[in-house]
Structure formats: structure tokens, C-alpha cells
Amino acid sequence: RSHLKPYGSRAENHRNPTAKLLLETIERKQSNLAVSVDVTKSCDFLSIIDAVGPFVCLVKTHIDILEDFTQDVIFKLQKLSVEHDFVIFEDRKFADIGNTVALQYSSGIYRIASWSHITNAHPVPGPSIISGLASVGLPLGRGLLLLAEMSTEGALTEGSYTESAVRMARRHREFVIGFIAQRRMENVGGSAETEEDDFLILSPGVGLGARGDGMGQQYRTPREVVLESGCDVIIVGRGIYGKDLKDTEKIRTQATRYKEAGWEAYQERISV
């Protein structure tokens, strides 16, 4: 089973350059931690990323949350990505027809494809959402994650929906590098090639404290996510930056704590 092998050795299972980049970054930094930076001010956004940068393999953004967005934010984000060696993932959750998502991905104010290594999409429109996004992203070497499952209470992403998402991904392996999901997907949707799939599984809904946020979010620990469910990357937001966005010392401490918990769970996973 691919996820029982070290991250670095899995890079060769992938043709997509972004999948390779993520696996190699995880190995190099010994971190399967991604931080989700859901804040509204550019100065907080950049200072949190600068603080957590050394500890993460990936930074996940919701660029449209920023109320004072300018192109300069992208310039600085890219600079931090090089300086701290992390991958960028704009959590855009595309969900429209192929033609529209291609425009949303390439154009508008944000021009996501020009700076984000990874983005994601809901499989709800069918395979045309993948081909639409691939028409923009593939020439740039980008990668796509399909939303196979969500972390929220009562999510509709289950059963045959999730199975169809996996089958769609298998038919577009050059661009779809994995899933946002709560567990591994190799055995979902039935396939003779399940062993070789090696999808990257990035999991949000991770926390070491609270089990929920009172707004439907459900948290599991890094150990549950990485060791028990076999996911590859833990995505942590408020568990790391909490309420005090200016307290960079505390943010660093929390990032270290999650990084260690995620790596420990991974080491235990590959040692069995």
C-alpha cells in the first residue's frame, strides 16, 4: 500500500510535477502539516504565513476573504513560498461548468492559476470540471484535488457520490493528484488498479483541542487522521492561529506542536 511507504519514495508514482513537489517538500521539511490561513487582513495573512512557514509543507489560502487584497499580496506570498519552501493551495472549491471554471481559474482579480500550485473542485458538475480546469492548469504544471468528502456534520459527500468522485479522478491522473477527504480512497469506487493509485489525501478538520467549532466543523486529532485514516497531509487553521492573530510566538509554538504530532503519526504508520 502506497501510503505505508515514505513520502519521498512516493514521488516517483506521480507524473504531475506538483504532486512530486508536495511529496518532496514533505520529505525535505519532515512536515505533513498544512496551515489554512483564513483571515481578512493582508498584514495578518502574511505575518501568520511568515511565522508558520518553516514548519509547514503547504499553505492553504482563501484569497477572496482578504478585504484589502492587492497584487502585492501575491508577490509577497510567492516570495514566502520560496523563502520557506512550501507549496501553495488556493482552496477555491470550483463547482461550475468547464468553460466558467476555466475563466474563474485563469482570470478575474485573483488569476489563481498564475500563483497557486494546487487548487480544488467539487465533482458535482461531472468530468467537464476537470477538463475545464486542466485546460488552464496542466500547461502550467498545476495539480487539482477533488472534494471527495467534507469534514462537516451532515455533509452530503458520501456513498455513491464519493465513489463517483474517485472514478472521475482515476480517469484524469495527469491533473488530479488526490482528494480532500477524511480517509484513503484507493478502495473506494472499485478498481483493479487500487494498489497503484497513490492519491494524495489532504484532510481538513484537524484539531488537538476542541472537537468542533459550533458551526458544523468536526475535528479529529493528527493521530486519527494520519495513522488511523491514512491521510497524507493534515490541514489546520484555527487550531494554530487561534484568536490572537498577532501573537506570532504562540502561533509558532502551535505550528511546531501540530508538525510534531503529524510527523509522529506518520512515522508510526510507515513503521508497521
Binding site residue list: 38, 60, 151, 217, 237-238
Q: Which is nearer to ligand 5IU, 74 or 148 (CB)?
A: 148
Options 53, 98, 178, 205; binder of ligand 5IU; rule CB under 6 A: 205
178 binds ligand 5IU (CB under 6 A): no
Cβ proximity to ligand 5IU: between 123 and 205 the closer is 205
Q: Does 226 bind ligand 5IU (CB under 6 A)?
A: no
SS3 214: coil
Alpha-carbon distance of 238 to 210, in angstroms, equals 10
Contact between 238 and ligand 5IU per CB under 6 A: yes
Interaction pattern, residues 114-133, with ligand 5IU; x per rule: CB under 6 A: --------------------
Strand partners, 91: none
CB 133 within 8 A of CB 166: no
- Judged by CB under 6 A, the stretch of 14-22, 134-142, 146-154, 259-267 that binds ligand 5IU is 146-154
For CA atoms 124, 130, 135, 139, the dihedral sign is positive
Task: Determine phi and psi for 92, rounding to 5 degrees.
Answer: -80, -25
DSSP label at residue 194: G
Burial label for 83, CB within 10 Å (0-12, 13-18, 19+), is: exposed
Residues that bind ligand 5IU (CB under 6 A): 36, 38, 62, 91, 147, 150-152, 180, 204-205, 213, 217, 235-239
